[in-house]
Chain A
Amino acid sequence: MRPIPFLLAIPVLGFCAVIQSSVISRMPLFNGKADLLLLVVIAWTLYPKVDSAWFWAGVAGFAGMLISALPPGVYLAGYLIAVGLALFLKRYLWKVPLLAMITAVILGCVVIHVISYIVVSLQQGQLLPVNIVINLVLIPGLLLNVLLATPVYALLRDLAGWIYPEEIIDDF
């Protein structure tokens, strides 16, 4: 197992966490926000040769925990589940990776929002209004994440291609 993909997780996801906190979080759509860490982790997972997806999910969860006031473990659990879903989709949608990316982003976003909703509701001792959460938080967040999915996927595919170069087999 090569160490470079694991070592690369820390600077890449650390940089993404900074961008998420200082830039992305300042551009909400209604009350929904894009999740750059989720997009990066899913895009990394969907590259065919990647074997460090779970590690990247763990680092992203830790980075999310540092920049957010949500209880520890929310982002970690969310990203681990999202990576699991992405690995499952990779098996069946490996011929259409962009479709797999968008599907995984939608599912991952829903998972993280559901976990956050449950945790915040438990903290407050009452359920948050579901119609407001869906209309003003979940759907705008999904839209922003889907919009960013394609460029993030393209960037991470290039990075993964550089880390995991294609093998050239000479047939004589």
Chain B
Amino acid sequence: MKSNHSLQTSVIIILAVGLIALALSGFLNPLIKITLSPFIGAQTWISERYRVVQTYLNAPADVALMRQRISELESENARLQVQIVELQNQVSEAQVLASLVAFARAHSENQYIAGQVIGYDPSPFIHYIIINRGSDDGLRRGMPVVTAQGLVGQISALTSAAARVQLITDAKSAVNVHLQQADTDAVLRGQITADIGLEKIPQSANVRAGDLILTSGLGGNFPPNLVIGQVTTVRKLDYELFQTAEVQPAVDFNQLEIVLVIVNFRPVDILPLIPAPGQ
């Protein structure tokens, strides 16, 4: 009995060692593959089904998370869009200011204060703008207002922090000008349609389209040699006393953003020097 038991144990040990040796040496690989493949197939199938069930059960939480993330990204996108617009405005303002600084440096004989255009006159019959500088900034009535392109107008009224500027396109505006190529003087007047035209051009003057128009300084209302615009069309009729002309202004009055006020120029009141009728 004892010997039978020992024999069985020895056989089992030998078989086990033999199987291990065969497995390690690779002879049993095909058998292992055939044996394990149904188990692997079953495990794969069960694992996939479990993943589907898990995804289905977790879907509401994922969808809610994604929706929240989308909402956060949309609000961040909107905030960045607003920031882009603000930065573009700042860039545009910086460009305008740079051109005004260049203009001020080129015309260093004058002193300037920059003002932002904050409003336009609501009446369609007159042409005025409102700037955010006033008497507290050293502005006074009658000071000329310019941009880098040319003459804009003249301060007509002001408070401590704002000023109203009469544009040269206003029908009541009159500017004494000099035509550079024709070398003659004339009067620039605004019209209700916001156009500007020249009057009182002598019949003997040879005015042509493209002639540059500058302030003449006569009358003392504006300093001389400020650019106004160019002649576009000339009207010359022999039976009239003077020629007239249409003018293309150098300044775009619909796009005014920042203007310069010439603060070291005071208009001269020449009315006392004009003799009264009958004298």
Contacts and interface: CB of A to CB of B under 8 A. Distances in A.
Contact of B118 (A22, A113, A117): A22
A33 interface: yes
Contacts of B192: 31, 120, 128-129, 132-133, 136-137
Contacts of A68: 121-123, 126, 128
A137 B194 CA distance: 11
A67 B193 contact: no
A21 B130 contact: yes
A123 B193 contact: no
Interface residues of A, number: 32
B255 to A, nearest CB: 10
B172 interface: yes
A117 B125 contact: yes
B125 A116 contact: yes
B122 A24 contact: yes
B126 A70 contact: yes
Interface residues of B, number: 21
B122 A137 contact: no
B211 to A, nearest CB: 26
B119 A25 contact: yes
A70 B122 CA distance: 9
B157 interface: yes
Nearest to B194: A31
Contacts, number: 78
A70 B128 CA distance: 10
A25 to B, nearest CB: 4
A70 B124 contact: no
A108 interface: no
Contacts of A20: 122
Contacts of A26: 120, 254
B119 A70 contact: no
Interface string A129-152: 100110011000100000000000
Contact of B124 (A21, A22, A32, A37): A32
A120 B125 contact: yes
B123 A70 contact: yes
A117 B130 CA distance: 22
A64 interface: yes
Interface in B146-188: 156-157, 164, 166, 171-172
Interface in B98-137: 118-126, 128, 130
B174 to A, nearest CB: 11
A53 B192 CA distance: 33
Contacts of B124: 28, 31-33, 113, 116, 137, 141
Contacts of A137: 124-125, 192
Contacts of A141: 124
Interface in A92-125: 113, 116-117, 120, 123-124
B120 A25 contact: yes
B60 to A, nearest CB: 40
A91 B116 CA distance: 47
B160 to A, nearest CB: 14
A69 interface: yes
B217 to A, nearest CB: 25
Given A69-B166, A124-B171, A128-B192, A35 B122 contact: yes
A124 B172 contact: yes
Given A31-B192, A70-B123, A120-B125, 4 more contacts: A18-B119, A21-B130, A67-B122, A69-B157
11 contacts: A25-B119, A31-B193, A32-B124, A37-B122, A67-B122, A69-B123, A69-B156, A69-B157, A69-B164, A70-B126, A128-B125
6 smallest beta-carbon distances between A and B, as pairs? A21-B119, A25-B120, A69-B128, A120-B125, A137-B124, A22-B119
